[in-house]
């Protein structure tokens, strides 16, 4: 593939009437103008065929180091987060540099075929050799042509509960990790969890890094590390650089507590990432009937003006045996679980797998605007409703004016 384009014709844009011609000058968008009359795409033009053209999909939360290891060395029988962490600890002992690179690159290529051009991966740094981190740093460079990869230094076995984890975090940042992670609900005690959050926020500020914490990924209504993360972010005016991932416990909080919590969340301006397929699978495992859905309060967060993105979390790993790289599948599940199939939600839903993820990753130059990098996908459908209803493969993925993926319409 990899052809250089000079224009996208017959393009439908969200929020604009009619069809448009998006001209491309080198690696950047140039003029956007209404399409005049019948036009046939030439050799260096691509015909969007009246379909929507949107910014590339953003995968804001994946674990590339664990991708495609489901069943190795054993299957997660209970389906719980904690057994997943045990299985992963066994698989982690078998990691090699080449093994991580091969699986990570295969996963990124799978993502690319689905129109994803931006990925944030968590990488487990609770490993004295930092094998996965070193491999992913190499993958970040090797994949630049087709994906922007952000790496989170993620202490899977805890910062306070895994000996040496804080030193390994510092080392990971020195080696080049982009984002500081955490997992307070997995720490041995509540105090460890609180202290770990305060420590990681300070660490990120000292190194001028973003933050993305696995926060309250548990059905325990007493798991309240989100308020600690939000308060620390507010105290240092750092909220737009902080992502709270999962926040499943919020689905179990009582409404009176949530009312107080949301006041803080709105002031802090935190970013949120929800992982619908993963948490629907992992949570509710200790419930009889009725079983909780295990998701955070997605519509309420959005209605409060906070940005929520959906991510996949896993591709065939110890926590989740499925996953195919298609974010439209994730969006579909998330909208179902969140009771968000009202037309207003559907019409705005693509933002959950595009611009809200871009906000979490603090991407510059992201939206479809003349002067920005010519990066976009042509999806099948003239409206978000059709795109979601049909869930067909992307027709094209264009990056810096080059066609990375192109298919015939169905
Ligand atoms: Fe995760």
Rounded Cα gap, residues 68 and 44, in angstroms = 37
Q: How many beta carbons lie within 10 A of that of residue 139, not counting itself?
A: 24
Could you tell me the pLDDT band of residue 36, with boundaries at 50, 70 and 90? confident
**How many angstroms separate the alpha carbon of residue 141 from the centre of ligand 1?**
22
Contacting residues for 141 by C-beta, under 8 A, at least 6 apart: none
List, in order of start, the domains of the chain with CATH numbers: 3-55+367-406 (2.30.40.10), 57-360 (3.20.20.140)
Ion ligand 1: residues, CB < 5 A: 313
Does residue 1 surpass a pLDDT of 60?
no
CB 213 within 8 A of CB 196: no
| pTM beyond cutoff 0.85 | yes
Using DSSP, how many helices (H) and how many strands (E) does the chain show? 13, 17
Catalytic residue among 59, 217, 232, 278: 217
Looking at the predicted structure, is the pLDDT value of residue 43 above 80? no
**String of b and e for 337-359 (b: at least 16 CB within 10 Å)?**
bbebeeeebbeebbbbbbbbbbb
Q: Kindly report, residue by residue over 252-266, the tens digit of the pLDDT.
A: 999 999 999 999 999
Q: DSSP alpha helices (H): ranges in 182-224? A: 190-206
Catalytic residue at 170?
no
Q: How does DSSP assign 141-189, residue by residue?
A: HHTTTT-EEEEEEE-TT-SSSSTTHHHHHHHHHHHT--EEEE-GGGSSS
Percent of the chain with pLDDT over 90: 95
Buried b or exposed e, range 275-300, using 16+ CB within 10 angstroms: bbbbbbbbbbbeeeeeeebbbbbbee
- pLDDT of 180 reads 98
Residues 6 or more apart whose Cβ sits within 8 Å of residue 29: 22, 23, 368, 369, 370, 371, 372, 373, 374
Q: What is the mean pLDDT of residues 55-71?
A: 98
Q: Which residues contact 158 (CB under 8 A, 6 or more apart)?
A: 126, 165, 183, 186, 187, 188, 192, 196
* Residue 21 Cα to ligand 1 middle (Å): 39
* Distance (Å) from CA 241 to ligand 1 centroid: 18
User: If pLDDT is split at 50, 70 and 90, which confidence band does 5 have?
Assistant: confident
Q: What is the chain's mean pLDDT, rounded?
A: 96
**Tens digits of residue pLDDT in 354-406:** 999 999 999 999 999 999 999 999 999 999 999 999 999 999 999 999 999 99
- Residues 338-353 have a mean pLDDT of 98
Structure tokens at 108: 């990124």
Reported as a single tens digit per residue, the pLDDT across 186-225 is: 999 999 999 999 999 999 999 999 999 999 999 999 999 9
Which structure tokens are listed for 172?
A: 């990971």
Distance separating alpha carbons of residues 383 and 398, to the nearest angstrom: 20
Q: How far is the CA of 155 from the centre of ligand 1 (A)?
A: 11
Q: How far apart are CA 330 and CA 59, in angstroms?
A: 10
Ligand 1 center to 121 CA (angstroms): 9
In the reported structure, the alpha carbon of residue 389 is separated from the centroid of ligand 1 by a whole-number distance in angstroms of 27
- pLDDT surpassing 90 at residue 272: yes
What mean pLDDT is predicted for residues 166-174?
Answer: 98
Alpha helices in 241-317 (DSSP H): 255-268, 276-282, 298-303
Question: What is the pLDDT confidence band of residue 4, given thresholds at 50, 70 and 90?
Answer: confident
Mean pLDDT of the region 271-292: 96
């Amino acid at each position: 593939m990899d052809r250089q384009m000079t224009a996208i014709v017959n393009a439908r844009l969200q929020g604009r009437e009619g069809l448009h011609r998006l001209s491309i000058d080198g690696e950047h968008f140039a003029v956007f103008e209404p399409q005049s009359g019948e036009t046939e795409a030439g050799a260096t033009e691509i015909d969007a065929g009246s379909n929507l053209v949107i910014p590339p999909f953003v995968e804001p939360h994946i674990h590339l180091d664990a991708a495609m290891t489901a069943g190795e060395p054993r299957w997660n029988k209970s389906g719980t987060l904690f057994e997943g962490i045990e299985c992963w600890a066994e698989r982690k002992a078998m990691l090699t540099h080449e093994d991580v690179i091969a699986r990570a690159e295969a996963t990124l290529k799978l993502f690319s075929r689905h129109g994803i051009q931006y990925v944030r991966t968590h990488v487990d740094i609770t490993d004295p050799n930092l094998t996965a981190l070193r491999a992913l740093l190499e993958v970040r460079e090797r994949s630049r042509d087709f994906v922007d990869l952000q790496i989170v230094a993620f202490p899977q076995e805890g910062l306070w509960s895994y000996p040496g984890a804080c030193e390994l975090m510092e080392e990971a940042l020195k080696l080049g990790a982009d984002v500081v992670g955490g997992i307070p609900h997995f720490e041995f005690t509540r105090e460890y969890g609180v202290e770990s959050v305060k420590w990681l926020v300070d660490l990120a500020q000292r190194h001028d890094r973003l933050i993305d914490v696995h926060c309250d990924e548990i059905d325990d209504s007493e798991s309240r590390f989100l308020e600690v993360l939000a308060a620390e972010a507010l105290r240092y005016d750092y909220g737009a650089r902080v992502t709270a991932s999962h926040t499943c416990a919020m689905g179990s909080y009582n409404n009176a507590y949530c009312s107080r919590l949301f006041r803080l969340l709105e002031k802090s301006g935190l970013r949120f990432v929800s992982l619908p397929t993963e948490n629907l699978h992992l949570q509710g495992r200790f419930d009889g009937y009725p079983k909780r859905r295990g998701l955070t309060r997605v519509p309420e967060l959005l209605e409060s003006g906070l940005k929520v993105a959906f991510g996949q979390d896993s591709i065939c790993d110890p926590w989740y045996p499925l996953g195919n790289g298609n974010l439209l599948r994730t969006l579909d599940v998330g909208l179902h679980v969140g009771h968000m199939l009202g037309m207003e939600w559907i019409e705005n839903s693509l933002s959950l797998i595009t611009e809200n993820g871009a906000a979490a990753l603090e991407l510059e130059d992201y939206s479809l605007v003349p002067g920005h990098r010519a990066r976009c996908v042509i999806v099948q459908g003239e409206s978000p409703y059709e795109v979601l209803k049909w869930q067909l493969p992307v027709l094209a993925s264009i990056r810096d004016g080059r066609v990375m993926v192109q298919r015939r319409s169905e």
